[in-house]
Amino acid sequence: METLRWLDLVVIVIYMAAMAFIGLRFARRQTSTERYFVAQRSIPGWAMGISLYATVISSVTFIAYPGAAYAGNWNELVPGLMVMPVLLLAVFLIIPFYRRVVGMSAYEYFGKRFGGRTRMFSAVAFACGHFSKLAFVFYLVALTVNSMTGWNIYWVTAIMGVVTVFYTFCGGLEAVIWTDVIQGFVKVFGIIICLGFLLFLPPGGPAAAFHTAWQAGKFGLGSLNFDFTQKGFWVMTLYGLFWFLQQYTADQTVVQRYLVTATNRQAVKGTLLGGLLCVPVWTLFMLIGSLLWSFYHLTGEKFPGYITKSDQIFPYFLSTHIPAGLAGLFMASLFAAAMSTISSTLNCLAVIGTEDIYRRFEPAATDARRLQVGKGIVIGAGLLTTVIAMVLAGYAGHALSLYFTATAILSGGLFGLFFLAFFSTRANARGVWFGIIACLVFTGWATLTQGKEGHYHFPLPGVMIGVIGHVVLLAVGYLASFLFPPPEPALRELTLWGWLEKRSRLRAGQLDSSAILESNP
């Protein structure tokens, strides 16, 4: 289609107007950083959970997961399955701990444990990783809409960016979360529409579609051989485990959600809901990719010449087989997937830019001034991300593989840093910096040599760079800490062991309840 059908256009305009309205609806409330960054800690647990799910299910899921499943099997679903064990760690330890020790930023904890420079490093590492994520989100949406409508890829990026930045700028985290709730439901409608057509359009219906995909091995999870030079099951398991450990312990987009509810119990319920919603949705998008393969195999339809990447096939199917109105609803769900991720990350970048970086240089800044800085960061980060997305538009590789590699590299060893801070009473600020430097050196070498020939190149898949980076930071930081005096005894309370001891003494009646600053369970 060279132009959108008018009914599809009406659906998209209504969706965009609704998002802008929500931003305006919450704009007058945004009078403090407490309101703008953590919604005055008044969000219901169920809304927080849907927001978390909506943020994680981005346009990477909508387009790249079906593309990966079409081209191969379900190997790249494996990382998502690792969220299950990590959720247990989060609900029993991480959530109550963070709600006691930080106000708005996860990296405040690193600062308390290891000093201001470590806080700055962790905040910058998060920002670098998530700038790359935002760029992929922009890119994949623009690619899809361009394939379906013929619209200029740069105009699509600009319009989506303007609306998202508008409601994020106006309404703060409250607008982000409540738009996420709407966007979460819109995404479900998009999934249902696509599965319905893929199951019933091909000859033979659902039975033939599933049988054809099964016979071709489209539901496999990858090779079970212990070959770490290939992206088989075990490599993707390790990547997923470390990725979600980093996300649920040291990623501001998740930790910020821990802080927006009134109680620990609400935060736990919301986190469980968000994580558990993601797994079936990831699975359904992989199923869409497998059913796409069956559809074109059963019908014998040929692709036009401009279809050169597997990531283009799902948008092509939508543009040629989904009727007017329903195609617009899917496109709205695609925009929802992108905008929920973008708005959440922009608000998080504003938090760390203001609380972790700006306040370090301007400690006497008023709350009103910090609020202005935070809003300015939302606008600036949105513009910068748009530019990066335009650069990515010329990349010809497989989007999901590139996304996994980029985020693995740019995660900055943050889980390794959290592990040292939380689990080790011996780790200290100077030793940790040896670990940070070692991680950066390793990451730089591995990034520059990965995929190249020679004796001194990184021989493993790119997703393993982030995994090994976490381990390097942890091991070197811990061992180097023995070169320096142990940390002050008071810092023990900022570790798991000190926190558990204090809770035990509180329960035994040896401490007054005010001695442990923890929200009501």
Task: Write out 93-147 in H/E/C secondary structure.
Answer: HHHHHHHHHCCCCCHHHHHHHHCHHHHHHHHHHHHHHHHHHHHHHHHHHHHHHHH
Q: Which residues contact 214 (CB under 8 A, 6 or more apart)?
A: none
**Count of CB atoms within 10 A of residue 304's CB?**
8
Q: Could you give the CA distance from residue 362 to residue 340 in angstroms, rounded to a whole number? A: 31
Distance CA 69, CA 289 (A): 5
pLDDT at residue 401, rounded to an integer: 55
Q: Under a CB-based contact definition with an 8 Å cutoff, are residues 249 and 415 in contact?
A: yes
Share above pLDDT 90 across residues of the chain, in percent, rounded to a whole number: 36
Q: Is the pLDDT of residue 3 over 50?
A: no
Phi, psi of 220, deg, nearest 5: -70, 155
Q: Report the candidate in 350, 369, 12, 31 with the shortest Cα–Cα distance to residue 176.
A: 350
**How confident is the model at residue 424, as a pLDDT?**
93
| Separation CA 402–CA 341 (nearest Å) | 18
Tokens of 312: 């283009």
pLDDT tens by residue, 429-449: 999 999 999 998 898 888 778
Closest-CA residue to 400 (of 85, 145, 75, 158): 75
Residue 368, judged by CB atoms within 10 A of its CB (0-12, 13-18, 19+), counts as exposed
> What's the mean pLDDT in 140-157?
75
Task: Give the amino acid at 390.
Answer: M
CA 338, CA 55: separation in Å to the nearest integer? Answer: 8
Question: Which pLDDT does position 8 carry in this prediction?
Answer: 77
> For residues 240 and 464, what is the distance between their CA atoms, to the nearest angstrom?
10
Burial class of residue 80, CB neighbours in 10 A (0-12, 13-18, 19+): buried
Q: How many CB atoms lie within 10 A of CB 405?
A: 23
Question: How many CB atoms are located within 10 Å of the residue 215 CB?
Answer: 10
Rounded to an integer, what distance in angstroms lies between the CA atom of residue 46 and that of residue 54? 12
| 3-state helix/strand/coil string of 276-307 | HHHHHHHHHHHHHHHHHHHHHHHHCCCCCCCC
* The predicted structure's pLDDT at residue 399: 53
Q: What integer is the mean pLDDT of 394-410? A: 54
Q: Residue 396: which pLDDT band, with cuts at 50, 70 and 90?
A: very low
Quote the CA–CA distance of 297 and 213 in Å, as a whole number: 9
* CATH H superfamily, domain 6-487: Sodium/glucose cotransporter (1.20.1730.10)
pLDDT tens by residue, 82-106: 998 999 899 989 999 999 888 889 9
What is the rounded CA–CA span in Å between residue 137 and residue 339? 9
Looking at residue 518, its pLDDT comes to 43
> Would you kindly state where each structural domain of the chain is located, as residue ranges?
6-487
Q: Give the C-alpha separation, 508 to 131, whole Å.
A: 47
d(CA 482, CA 470): 19
Q: Which two tokens stand for residue 98?
A: 């963070």
Q: What helix, strand, coil percent values describe the chain, rounded to 5? A: 75, 0, 25
**Of 34-38, 399-403, 465-469, where does mean pLDDT reach its minimum?**
399-403
Q: What pLDDT score was predicted for residue 494?
A: 92
Q: What is the pLDDT of residue 269?
A: 94
- Band (pLDDT 50/70/90 cuts) for residue 403 is low
Of 339, 319, 332, 337, nearest in space to 4 by CA = 319
Residue type (1 letter), 380: G
The secondary structure of residue 511, as a DSSP letter, is S
C-beta of residue 75 within 8 angstroms of C-beta of residue 221: yes
CA distance 181 to 173: 12
Task: Please write the tens of the pLDDT for every residue from 164-195.
Answer: 989 999 999 999 999 989 888 888 888 888 88
The pLDDT, as a whole number, for residue 412 is 66
